Amino acid sequence: MSLDSGQKPTDELDTLVGSTVAGKYHIDRLIGRGGMGAVFQATNAGIGKRVALKFLRAQSARDSDAALRFQREALAASLAESPHIVQIFDSGRSEQGLPFLVMELLTGEDLRARLRREGRLDPEAAVRVGSHVLKALKQAHAAGIVHRDLKPDNVFLCRREDEPSFVKLVDFGISKLQQRPGVDTLTHEGAVLGTAFYMSPEQAQAFPDIDGRTDLFSVGAILYEMLSGAPPHKGPTYEAVLIAICTKDAADVRVQAPAVPEKLAQVVAKALRRNRDERYGSAGEMLTDLEAALRESGTRDAASARADTARLGSKPERFRTVVFALVAALGGFAVAAYFVARGSAPPARDAAPLPAAAAAGSRASLASLPSAAAQPPPPAPVPTAPTTAATKLTQLKSRDAGRPVTKKPAPPASAGVAGGLGLSTREP
């Protein structure tokens, strides 16, 4: 997107379209912008490759936390080396001194956009997305990286010829890099990082020893929303959501989505356990159970469908046979009564076998049932909570962990939580 003739640039980012950065990246157009920066489509003039350039505003670059997040994003993505994590090729500064990252250009949409459009996904599609996310986390966790901000906005569904929904994780800006002294000093002690609806209880309470299991809780929350159309915990304010996460077990996903297979619901419930010791121990373990749940439910559903079809097919045949026999009997009775009334016997003829019942018509087929009405769009991501949220939740750290899951209807989704715009390398 270029500026109209005579329009004055609103900030330093508006002057970038049409310019060349670092002597080789020609800025083609704006993809999206947020409070901290913007993402542009660019072309590497040397090799003609299209890429995405993510810039940090000058004001944000002067903020130590924002600058560190930018550095962390590049480092985390380069360490993970997974096909399901967005690639970062280079980094540098523009001629105006703006920090930038050179990233792969993604074509498609994020999961948030798809959920807004469709409301919810069928179990097979949800498991496919969840499996790709877990494969990315398996590599990231092995490299000592905890994402800490998994949400539908950071799950990008790439359009590919070989696979329609190939997932790429984006935005490792608040990831935790384990065993790297001096790198993980992102915020003041006790601050809560992440997006409320997908945050684990230990993350909501700002535990200092966050590990990969916090990401698995977030995957469980994303699966829950993909299957039911709403996040597992809701509330009118950011703080209310955090308190619900720390004190209430999520309702069984089948309360809102009865068609979800039991085994799949069990995987989601285990991932959402408030006590992290009761969750999956690794992304690989959860991935195995998730894929097995879909295979098992698929086999059972296919067998059940065949049995139902057989039962539905046999009933009309039996019904038609009985009706035919009844009509034949009534017809014979009427003929006999006619000849009795005349006082004469029916004319003799060669005995012939009774006609067989008519062949059954085409078997009944099972049509797809209408899907449930789409749920209202899920709440938008919530801005980062102030330090006070963690302070008020500290007393919950040991009291409520490990409470068993209670199956009760979930309260209606709250529409009172506002969110902000995140940045990615998405191409419309």
Run of H or E including 38: strand 37-44
Cα separation, 159 vs 53, whole angstroms: 20
CA dihedral 170, 188, 210, 233 (to 10 degrees): -70
85 DSSP assignment: B
CA dist 144 → 43, 132, 177, 271, 320 (Å): 33, 19, 6, 20, 68
Cα separation, 85 vs 72, whole angstroms: 14
Indicate the SS3 state at residue 50.
Answer: strand
User: What is the residue whose two structure tokens read 């789409």?
Assistant: 374
378 CB-side CA count, 13 A = 31
Cα separation, 68 vs 86, whole angstroms: 19
Length of the chain: 428
Nearby residues of 306 by Cβ (< 8 Å), 6 or more positions away: none
Residues forming a β-bridge with 106: 426
**Looking at 149, 153, 171, 215, which residue is catalytic?**
149
Run of H or E including 28: strand 25-33
Which amino acid, one-letter code, is at 205? Q
Q: Which two structure tokens, joined as six digits, stand for 150?
A: 């998994």
CA proximity to 415, closest of 231, 266, 268: 231
Residues forming a β-bridge with 27: 42
CA proximity to 154, closest of 374, 386, 421: 421
Note if 277 is an active site residue. no
Cα separation, 418 vs 238, whole angstroms: 9
21 DSSP assignment: E
Cβ–Cβ under 8 Å, residues 179 and 144: yes
Nearest-5° Cα angle at 94, 93 to 99? 40
Cα separation, 81 vs 96, whole angstroms: 31
Cα separation, 37 vs 378, whole angstroms: 25
Neighbour-count burial of 267, counting CB atoms closer than 10 A to its CB (0-12 exposed, 13-18 middle, 19+ buried): buried
Indicate which residues carry an active-site annotation.
149
